[in-house]
Structure 1
């Protein structure tokens, strides 16, 4: 085995587990002491260890924060967008997890464990490690793990034995997959299957990933059904309106329109109330409540949006936003991972970037212009007239500020876009 190789967990048999655990311990110890290990850690693990070393997480002891109270857990459960798909997760994971001496946990987007079920003996072992309902298992709290690391990378991750940054977790294997809102990519939480090292199975990663995708499909079905109900309510109302109007759900997703092209979504003010309002993609409007949503009536003679300031915040590891302010007021919008990348790139290239240039930046392939144009079309739906095209760019009179992380290596850690990866290199 040469020094440029990594351990392939997909080929481990039961007899290999103990040997692999010892080898990984040597890899971790060498890496943490600043020496070159015999083999490299897997890329997602090595990058996580680097974040932990820079963040000051102690590798030789647990760094835990207090448990949520029972009332706080119950409140988070009630408001969790994952609550409707909990039966799907249980049906697909819990029975098999119990038989395999594993447990299933479901966290929210902050890394707080909200549900935990599975093999009774493993549940008791989890208690001793603080792996219990209400605990905070974000990566920057307890190190590399199957809940916190997928929250950062936005990709499924299996963390085996000494790949855990904190030593007391080395007797565990954790496999987690993020669950995202299928409408806009917003991170909702993680489903994780964990158990003792000796019960590790290479197929667990694909199994958990498939179940997470199934949960997202169920969420998509529920969304479609909700819009269908709102559309039925709005149809007779819209039929009586002569001008432009749109019926949207409480999150701005469009159920029906009249007098205008169909939009997927409009960015609603955070505290929308009945009466006059400003909708970025539509201008001056009036809002009226509907059962299950809002009726937005468009003013056909809106005031122009002037003196605009845009603040793009990509300083955090898991949540990014754009805030727009001007004479018409201010509003903010939480960004999907792809839109955070695109707006960051446009903020870097104020003179503009072609579709092929953005494709090169994002994918390393200038031919992928269809994907870029589709995503930019979605971005322009909520940024309205603040973006121009041919090339894509912020308008010249728009004041754009980008809030970056303190360390460039923490820039959009989920991203594999070549331009973002290059920007993470200090001094680049």
Structure 2
């Protein structure tokens, strides 16, 4: 986004008019008198949710886990040093959101933080477009560009007392957007210098990500299958084949023989495959070797420690009926490149169970989200039944269903 000055008074008047037109349904979304980037954000937001409400907030335990798992923990101190002191003096808040829109850290004066909590702007809250609609952090994550939002441009009515600027953060190795840094508060939050200030801080933070992660301790007993840059055991990247083997052994706690592991890993098992498995086990043991004492026994192959995996956590959430925990753990990219029959079977059963649970108790937003992830017209039709009759999202969802069924 350009850092040239914006006439915020005019932008606010246009946004107020747009809200009136939206309520009366006199104008289509594409014709609302909004700034172009804000109009596109309204369209994306309303396509994903039927109504904008107060954002969901993680429990303290889930927030702690989210922070521990996030690479952003390495760079939050950079923003604390470069942004928080000046922002606090100006009665502004600094928030660091992960790639999904969850605010992992929020800092500022006690009074500013307390006031913001009344509208759900706090650590653990989901400020993605799919949750609260248009906001600077949500837009920055959706577009990959610096964004500014003021007053009535927010779809979430309670947020209209605030203005905000945000800049995406990218993994300097892959270019992947991994989060966004946000400045929220009064009119000062969208001053002309706000975006350049945030961009300079992001440059410093992204440089920090290139350095060794000294002092950052990833859970060495967690197999993260949901990362965009491949599976990681703790902080160590591992191959797809090793991820498949560990996932299977974590699922079958009693262990698997060489022959069973061959059946689980290969589409066309043969005698040569047993030798391949043994060679992979040798290499995997070298990966596991270290002070943790993580042993993998033979006859059968069995893990001698408690390995937790993304898929295992997802299964436990489904067994407990905890849909709110299960959905964030699921992604169509979960071991997507795997052709191992055992993995394909586990993923199929997982998706089937998740689909049934969402159909049984999911909200319109949850039905829409999973329906789009799975390209499932049945889930999208169920979402239509849950959406309010006047929801602007209905026509978009109908078009999606028709496209999938034709």
Over residues 29-78 of structure 1, what are the superposed CA-to-partner deviations in whole Å (9 max), with x where a residue is unaligned?
A: 3356342799743333222211232334435xx3333x333333223223
Structure that is richer in helix per residue: 2
Q: Note closer, same or farther for the CA distance 1:29–1:205 as it changes in structure 2 (3 Å cut).
A: farther
Cα distance in 1 for partners of 2:291, 2:76 equals 23
- The Cα shift of 1:203 comes to 2.5
Q: Give the C-alpha shift of residue 104 in structure 1.
A: 0.4
SS of the residue corresponding to residue 96 of structure 1 reads: helix
Deviations 1:257-302 (A, max 9, x none): xxxxxxxx7674153679988999xx752312244999xxxxxxxx
Q: 1:404 to 1:213 in 2, by over 3 A?
A: farther
Task: Compute the displacement of 1:84 (Å).
Answer: 1.6
Partner of residue 122, structure 1: 112
Alignment of 1:330-349 (within 5 A): 330=343
Contact 2:46–2:133 (CA under 8 A) maintained in structure 1: no
Report the 3-state secondary structure (helix = DSSP H, G, I; strand = E; otherwise coil) of the residue aligned with 2:96: strand
- Give CA-to-partner distance per residue, 1:201-248, whole Å, 9 cap, x none: 02212322332233222112226999xxxxxxxxxxxxxxxxxxxxx9
RMSD across aligned positions (CA): 4.5
Distance 1:54 1:268, change over 3 A: same
Residue 21 (structure 1) shift:
1.9
Does the 8 Å CA contact 1:179/1:216 hold for their aligned counterparts? yes
Whether 1:100 and 2:87 are equivalent positions in the alignment is: no
C-alpha spacing 1:202/1:26, structure 2 compared with 1 (3 Å): farther
Q: Which SS does the other structure have where 2:83 is aligned?
A: helix
Matched-pair contact (CA < 8 Å) for 1:180–1:189: yes
Stretches of structure 2 lacking an aligned partner (at least 5 in a row): 217-231, 251-255, 267-275, 294-327, 346-372, 381-398
What residue is the counterpart of 2:4 in the other structure? 10
Residue number in structure 2 paired with 1:269: 243
Q: 1:19 to 1:48 in 2, by over 3 A?
A: closer
Residue 177 of structure 1: CA displacement?
Answer: 2.5
Q: Greater share of strand residues, 1 or 2?
A: 1
- In 2: Cα distance, 1:29 partner to 1:405 partner: 34
Give the match for residue 38 of structure 2.
45
Number of residue pairs matched by the alignment: 280
For 2:191 and 2:178, the matched residues in 1 are separated by 26
| From 182, 205, 213, the counterpart of 2:203 | 213
Report the equivalent of 1:24. Answer: 15
Q: Is the 8 A contact 1:251 1:268 kept in 2?
A: no
Equivalent residue number for residue 156 of structure 1:
146
Are the counterparts in 2 of residues 150 and 157 from structure 1 also a CA contact under 8 Å?
yes
1:78 aligns with 2:72: no
For normalisation by structure 1, the TM-score amounts to 0.53
Q: How big is the shift at 1:176?
A: 2.1
Q: Given the two structures, how large is their TM-score scaled by the length of structure 2?
A: 0.55
In structure 2, C-alpha distance between the alignment counterparts of 1:208 and 1:124, rounded to whole Å: 23
CA distance in 2, matches of 1:88, 1:161: 29
| Contact persistence 1:324–1:330 (CA under 8 A) | no
Q: Which residue of 1 aligns with 2:365?
A: none
